[in-house]
Each structure stands twice: as structure tokens, then as C-alpha cells.
């Protein structure tokens, strides 16, 4: 049974990776893969205990999906009100290199305050307005994914992996910030530096297309400020209430819903409809959410049959060196979700709080996913929003992400040897 599920996962993964060649939507393949893995597991189980496991994993996956839908809807609401013009209007340069630096640094810093997924969604919308040419835009978005993932791993609220380590008392916020900031920065700067060689020239123009002249400057500013405040409030909400992040994003969406209804209440139904939450929801990329659902279901099945835990044990038995293990787990997180990988590692090892192993795991599982576009939530979101193919990302961005990942890992170990 285990071998069959692994074969199914590998075949499904290859079809997703080569979706452009097969001309099959990756969401459909991912859903089939997730269902087939669990069906194979169910048909070969002697009892129904797997139902409890499926329900548990589905609950965890649903939290991510609700968060994703909530964040996407808020971003679409801001965009419907031309809110991102406030950012793009401040950027006057048409030099592609300067624009790439601005976009990368902005993604890096925003990710630490929001999280890498929300940042990727916001920055993808901004980049679409700044870079009209498709190939250049894809390249910019590749750097957004790298920068967002790098920025998220030096903050306790920037990535789900650092949050897990923080909540489990494996790392304290002060250690996460002080010990991982420099490696994360290098992880972003090295790919950016290499990109300066390729990116040349100027964009033709930065034309901000107005969606609707009936939106006043006051309404635009209000929705932009309120939308960002709702996104920023999510980690605060989690800290105060101890409720999961999706509750915070749904709370923010509820506020946005009420406010948009109130400010457009005097307009006719047609005008009001264009700026409503209902209309924003129809513009969210549901196929990418379903793709995420299918992939996470498949990975959850691998976790349920202990493939991930056994892989971690195999690494420990045959390699032994914790630096190499954490490095390889980080690379593995580009193929399968970093959350179950980290969860398996947390179950395997019992090191004390703020041990260097947990620091390495925070960095590696947070940034290693950038090596493949489906290796992180940020990558999956951008992939869905802009329809970037797996093969294009692999050819053009993966090597940059790998070089940055290695550079940051080396800087962490150099820094750690100096501190020690």
C-alpha cells in the first residue's frame, strides 16, 4: 500500500510539474492526486481509523484555505477601489533594476510584518500594475516569492513554520529575529544581485489604469488603509485571542464587508455591486485554492502513513550531521509541504528551547520552498494568480533561489560560529 501511494504521488507530482506539456489544469490533477492517495489508503486499511486522521488533516488544511480566501478577497477589494495606486503612484522610476530592488525589498519587509502568503498576494497585484510585459513580470514575481519567503522566516509571525516553532516553545521571538535576520537578508540579496545581470533597460511606461472614475480619492485611501490594517491585525488578533490566523482574516473581511456596504449605500445597485465583497470573491482565484487543497491532501496522506517521519528517521540514521539534515530537509520542503516536514522533525528531536537545530530548521524550511514554485504557499498563490508554469519557474528562478538558500545557510553557520 505504502509503495503504491508513493508511486501515485510521484506520478501526480510529475504531471503537475509538466502541466504545460500535458495541457492539463494543475488543480484537477492535484485534486485527483489527493483523493486517489486517500482512496488507496482507505481500501487497504483493515478498520476505519483513517477517517479520524483525514478529518484532522482536513481541519488543518481548511484553516489555510480559509485564510487564503480571506486574504485574496481583501486584496481584490483594495484593487477594485484602485487602492494599490497609492503604492504605484509613489514609484516614479521606469528603470527595471531599480524597480526590481524596490519590489524585492518591499516584499522582504512586508513579509515579516504580514506573512509570506499575504505579501505574495499583495505584491503580485502591485507588480502586475508596474510591469506590463509578461516575461519581465514573471521574473519580478519569482524574486517576490524568494523575498517573501526569506522575509517571513526571520519573524515569528512571518511564516507558519516560525510560528509553529514559537508556539511549541522551540524558539523565542527575540532569537528568531536576531539570529535569522542576516541569513534571511543574504538569501534575498544574493538572487537579487544575480538578477541585476539579466534585468536591463526600462519598462515602456507605468500606466495605472483606473478601474472606475466613480471612486473618490477619499474612498480609495480609506479602503487601502483599512485593508492593510485588517491584514496587519491578524497576528495581533492571534496573540490576543490565541485563535488561529484564519479567524483574524475572517474578522477583517467582515469589517471590510460592512464598511464597503456603508460607503457605497447611496449608489445604485449596479455601481454598488462592482465594489462589493460578493464581486471581489468572484475574482479570487478558486482553481489555485483547489490546487492547494489537493496537494495538501496528498501530503497529509504521506504523513498519515508515516512516509515523512520515516524519511526523517532515515536521514538521522544514515547522515547524523544535524547541519546536513536540516539543509536537506529544507530542500525537501520544495517538493512537499514544509509544515508536515517540520512537524515530523519536531516529533523526532527533543532539543531544548533556542537550540541551533531549531534555528536551522526555521531558516531551511522557511526558505527552501522557494527552489520550486509549488514548494511554498507564496509560490502556489502567485502561480495561480499569474498562471506561471512550473517549468518556466524551474528554468529561470529555481537556481537563483538555490544559490540564495545556500548563501544564507553558510552565513548562518558563520554567524553562529562567531557568536559561539
- Which of 28-32, 64-68, 279-283, 354-358 shows the lowest per-residue confidence on average (mean pLDDT)? 64-68
Categorize the per-residue pLDDT at 300 as very low, low, confident or very high, splitting at 50, 70 and 90: confident
Over the stretch 36-48, which tens digit does the pLDDT of each residue have?
A: 999 999 988 877 7
- Which of 79-88, 203-212, 283-292, 384-393 shows the lowest per-residue confidence on average (mean pLDDT)? 203-212
Q: Which of 142-151, 194-203, 209-218 has the highest mean pLDDT?
A: 142-151
Q: Which of 4-18, 121-135, 401-415 has the highest mean pLDDT?
A: 401-415
What value does the mean pLDDT take over residues 128-134?
83
What value does the mean pLDDT take over residues 302-312?
79
Name the average pLDDT for the chain. Answer: 85
pLDDT at 22 over 60: yes
pLDDT at 4 over 70: yes
pLDDT of residue 140: 93
Instruction: Dump the DSSP string for 9-63.
Output: HHHHHHHHHTHHHHT--HHHHHHHHHHHHHHHHHHT-SSSHHHHHHHHHHHHHHH
pLDDT of residue 10: 86
With a pLDDT cut of 90, the percent of the chain lying above it is 26
pLDDT of residue 183: 95
Identify the sign of the CA torsion 98, 200, 188, 246. Answer: positive
pLDDT at 212 over 60: no
Q: Quick one: 21 exposed, middle or buried, by C-beta within 10 A (0-12, 13-18, 19+)?
A: exposed
pLDDT of residue 271: 79
pLDDT of residue 206: 59
Residue 358 sits at the vertex; the CA angle it makes with 356 and 362, to the nearest 5 degrees, is 115
pLDDT of residue 257: 93
What value does the mean pLDDT take over residues 153-171?
80
Distance of CA 302 to the CA centre of its chain: 21
309 vs 174, more confident: 174
Q: Count the Cβ atoms, other than its own, within 10 Å of residue 54.
A: 17
- How much of the chain is helix, strand and coil, in % rounded to 5? 80, 0, 20
Instruction: Report the chain's terminal Cα–Cα distance, integer Å.
Output: 47
What value does the mean pLDDT take over residues 396-407?
95
What value does the mean pLDDT take over residues 337-342?
69
> Which cell numbers hold the place of 51?
477517517
Categorize the per-residue pLDDT at 307 as very low, low, confident or very high, splitting at 50, 70 and 90: confident
pLDDT of residue 209: 55
Residue 387 sits at the vertex; the CA angle it makes with 382 and 390, to the nearest 5 degrees, is 85
Distance of alpha carbon 77 from alpha carbon 223, whole angstroms: 8
pTM score: 0.73
> Which cell numbers hold the place of 113?
510584518
pLDDT of residue 388: 86
pLDDT of residue 210: 52
> H helices of 333-397, where?
338-348, 356-367, 377-386, 390-396
pLDDT at 208 over 60: no
With a pLDDT cut of 70, the percent of the chain lying above it is 94
Distance of alpha carbon 346 from alpha carbon 361, whole angstroms: 10
Distance of alpha carbon 162 from alpha carbon 155, whole angstroms: 7
Categorize the per-residue pLDDT at 220 as very low, low, confident or very high, splitting at 50, 70 and 90: confident
| H or E stretch covering 236 | helix 217-241
Amino acid at each position: 500500500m505504502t509503495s503504491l501511494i508513493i508511486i501515485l504521488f510521484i506520478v501526480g507530482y510529475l504531471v503537475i510539474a509538466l502541466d504545460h506539456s500535458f495541457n492539463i489544469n494543475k488543480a484537477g490533477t492535484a485534486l485527483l492526486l489527493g483523493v486517489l492517495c486517500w482512496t488507496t489508503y482507505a481500501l487497504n486499511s483493515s478498520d476505519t481509523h483513517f477517517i479520524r486522521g483525514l478529518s484532522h488533516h482536513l481541519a488543518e488544511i481548511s484553516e489555510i484555505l480559509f485564510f487564503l480566501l480571506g486574504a485574496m478577497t481583501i486584496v481584490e477589494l483594495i484593487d477594485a477601489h484602485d487602492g494599490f495606486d497609492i503604492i504605484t503612484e509613489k514609484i516614479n522610476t521606469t528603470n527595471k533594476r531599480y524597480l526590481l530592488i524596490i519590489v524585492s525589498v518591499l516584499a522582504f519587509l512586508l513579509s515579516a510584518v504580514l506573512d509570506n502568503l499575504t505579501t505574495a498576494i499583495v505584491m503580485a497585484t502591485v507588480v502586475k500594475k508596474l510591469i506590463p510585459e509578461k516575461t519581465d513580470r514573471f521574473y519580478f514575481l519569482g524574486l517576490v516569492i524568494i523575498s517573501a519567503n526569506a522575509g517571513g522566516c526571520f519573524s515569528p509571525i512571518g511564516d507558519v513554520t516560525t510560528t509553529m516553532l514559537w508556539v511549541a516553545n522551540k524558539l523565542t521571538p527575540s532569537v528568531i529575529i536576531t539570529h535569522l535576520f542576516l541569513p534571511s537578508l543574504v538569501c534575498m540579496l544574493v538572487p537579487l544581485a544575480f538578477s541585476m545581470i539579466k534585468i536591463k533597460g526600462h519598462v515602456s511606461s507605468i500606466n495605472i489604469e483606473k478601474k472606475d472614475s466613480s471612486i473618490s480619492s477619499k474612498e480609495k485611501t480609506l479602503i487601502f488603509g483599512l485593508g492593510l490594517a485588517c491584514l496587519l491585525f491578524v497576528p495581533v488578533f492571534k496573540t490576543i485571542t490565541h485563535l488561529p490566523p484564519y479567524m483574524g482574516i475572517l474578522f477583517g473581511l467582515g469589517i471590510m464587508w460592512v464598511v464597503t456596504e456603508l460607503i457605497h449605500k447611496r449608489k445604485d445597485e449596479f455601481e454598488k455591486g462592482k465594489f462589493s465583497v460578493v464581486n471581489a470573491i468572484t475574482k479570487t482565484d478558486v482553481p489555485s485554492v483547489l490546487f492547494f487543497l489537493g496537494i495538501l491532501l496528498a501530503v497529509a496522506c504521506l504523513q498519515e502513513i508515516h512516509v515523512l517521519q520515516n524519511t526523517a528517521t532515515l536521514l538521522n540514521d544514515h547522515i547524523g550531521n544535524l547541519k546536513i539534515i536540516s539543509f536537506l530537509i529544507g530542500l525537501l520542503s520544495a517538493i512537499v509541504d514544509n509544515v508536515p516536514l517540520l512537524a515530523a522533525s519536531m516529533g523526532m528531536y527533543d532539543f531544548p528551547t533556542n537550540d541551533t537545530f531549531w534555528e536551522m530548521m526555521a531558516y531551511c524550511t522557511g526558505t527552501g520552498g522557494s527552489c520550486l514554485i509549488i514548494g511554498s504557499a507564496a509560490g502556489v498563490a502567485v502561480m495561480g494568480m499569474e498562471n506561471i508554469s512550473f517549468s518556466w519557474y524551474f528554468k529561470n528562478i529555481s537556481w537563483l533561489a538555490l544559490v540564495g538558500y545556500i548563501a544564507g545557510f553558510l552565513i548562518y553557520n558563520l554567524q553562529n560560529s562567531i557568536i559561539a
